[in-house]
Amino acid sequence: MSDEPKLKYQWRQTWPDAPKHFSGYDGSRHIAHIHWYHMGWWNWYMTWNHAKNANRWARPNGQADSAREAAIEAEKCYDAVLRCEWPGMLPEDLQCMLEREEWRKGYRKLWEEALAEKGYGPDGKPLKEPLISRRC
């Protein structure tokens, strides 16, 4: 058994052509990125920090010696934000973030419905025409 700390959230490679760039998720919520910096360390930054006054917070990012350490630091930051304990954060910041997240979900649904009406999928690619609707 490894003595390495376990990751709490799911991490996966962000893009197929970027083997040293990973994104962290709490369910469907995108919470953080980590990536290798060419000078010899891993950068981490929390992406779920869209509060109205997030500019007064301590910066939700940092560096680590390994990918695992970077992911753990990003997870600690995210957990502190969820508890409203990140330096500079106020309870209304978390409320603002949760409300914005709900608004974005509704907006995304409207966007996907509009795309579908035009014959496109959620990824913006054309949907294949169903066989039953084809005319000979």
pTM of the model: 0.76
Please report whether residue 110 resides in a domain: no
Tens digit of pLDDT at every position of the chain (136 positions): 567 789 999 999 999 999 999 999 999 899 999 999 999 999 999 987 677 777 788 888 999 999 999 999 999 999 999 999 999 998 888 888 888 888 888 877 888 888 888 888 888 888 876 545 555 5
Please report whether residue 129 resides in a domain: no
Domain of residue 23 covers 10-88
Of the CA atoms within 13 Å of residue 21, those in its CB half-sphere come to 7
Q: Which two tokens stand for residue 52?
A: 């109205």
Q: Are 115 and 106 in contact (CB under 8 A)?
A: no
Structural domains of the chain, count: 1
Please report whether residue 83 resides in a domain: yes
pLDDT value for 133 = 53
Beta bridge partners of 59: none
Please report whether residue 98 resides in a domain: no
Please report whether residue 97 resides in a domain: no
Q: In whole angstroms, what is the distance from residue 74 CA to residue 48 CA?
A: 11
Q: Are 44 and 22 in contact (CB under 8 A)?
A: no
pLDDT value for 130 = 55
Please report whether residue 134 resides in a domain: no
